[in-house]
Amino acid sequence: MSDTSLIRFEAVAPLRAQVAAWRAAGERVVLVPTMGALHAGHLALVARARELGRRTVASIFVNPTQFGPTEDFSRYPRDTETDLALLAEAGADAAYLPDVATMYPPGFSTRVEVDEVSQGLCGAFRPGHFSGVATVVTKLLNQVQPDIALFGEKDYQQLLVIRRAVRDLDLPVEIQGVPTLREADGLALSSRNRYLSPEERRAAPRLHAVLASIARGLAAGAEAGLLLAEGRAELEAAGFGPVQYLEVRDAETLAPVERADRPVRILAAAYLGRTRLIDNLAAVTP
């Protein structure tokens, strides 16, 4: 039976009071931050939260500061009532739906900038994006005050940026990554998949297939450079373009690597028509 008693909060004070009451009763609180447009990947985060703690808060806020001027902020899918029904069905205890004035009151002038892991990859193509993410997530963590916060590994660089901000700022919360959920054909679940035309949707799983093939090559001891050149050509032949990046990086620092002689991650971002897809995969050390 699904529990449909989702408590809805728009203001910080009553949400904090509820979280404090749960914690005073010895219950752990898990935050699942989202921008809505929920899909099975988000619901897997809620399911994981329920495994970890008795109380789950999901936030829904389409954060304007993490979108660039030419990005899809205004057309980003928004359907709050469907999202709330899905959260209730998945067994979340509370939804936090702040408005822009709550997150960015007039005169707001503080940004959280995370160096190193924010640079390169998506950071090179989306200037200001990770600062927007780090700022809003720091605020959400301070507002909700959870014991644990969950983030999908699909946004791998984002996960590392958030881990670094939490560590550097001594925020009292544990950050956990949750593995990417995929369609049967390998396409990583994403709110942006709904932008794909039927033809693009058929081509989209090539992104994961190319990452998996590079992972196999690295596991067999091949050099990253050749595998990446082949992978890029394969993506372009499948209709992707521009391929913004296809790279093998150290799984913790995101520094470039030549061989999988330590835990590495293969990461890619590429356009399919107007839709920008990202994905990543761990490579097994030979």
33 binds ligand PAF (CB under 6 A): yes
CB of 144 to ligand PAF, least distance (A): 12
49 is an annotated ligand-binding site residue? no
In a 13 Å sphere around the CA of 264, the CA atoms on its Cβ side amount to: 28
CB of 76 to ligand PAF, least distance (A): 10
Buried b or exposed e, range 109-140, using 16+ CB within 10 angstroms: eeebebeebbebbbbeebebbbbbbbbbbbbb
- Can you tell me which of 114, 136, 211, 266 binds ligand PAF, judged by CB under 6 A? 136
Residues 6+ apart with CB under 8 A from 60: 34, 35, 36, 80, 83, 95, 96, 97
Q: Which of 22, 29, 32, 42 is catalytic?
A: 42
Q: Is 42 a catalytic residue?
A: yes
45 binds ligand PAF (CB under 6 A): no
The piece of 13-21, 129-137, 194-202, 250-258 that touches ligand PAF (CB under 6 A) is: 129-137
Contact predicate 153/159, CB 8 Å: yes
Q: Which helix (H) or strand (E) holds 95?
A: strand 94-96
Q: Could you tell me which of 86, 98, 94 has the C-alpha nearest to residue 42?
A: 86
- Can you tell me which of 63, 118, 143, 280 binds ligand PAF, judged by CB under 6 A? 63
Contact predicate 150/30, CB 8 Å: yes
**Amino acid found at 181:** L
Q: Using only C-alpha atoms, what is the Rg of the chain? A: 19
CB of 104 to ligand PAF, least distance (A): 12
- Can you tell me which of 19, 29, 34, 141 binds ligand PAF, judged by CB under 6 A? 34
35 binds ligand PAF (CB under 6 A): yes
Using CB under 6 A, count the residues that bind ligand PAF.
10
Tell me whether residue 161 or residue 210 sits nearer to ligand PAF (CB atom).
161
The piece of 27-35, 201-209, 240-248, 260-268 that touches ligand PAF (CB under 6 A) is: 27-35
Residues 6+ apart with CB under 8 A from 41: 152, 154, 180, 181, 188, 189, 190
Contact predicate 113/131, CB 8 Å: yes
CB of 33 to ligand PAF, least distance (A): 4
The piece of 80-88, 107-115, 133-141, 178-186 that touches ligand PAF (CB under 6 A) is: 133-141
137 binds ligand PAF (CB under 6 A): yes
Q: Residues forming the annotated binding site for (R)-pantoate?
A: 66, 158
- What residues make contact with ligand PAF under the rule CB under 6 A? 33-35, 63, 66, 133, 136-137, 155, 158
Cite the active site residues.
42
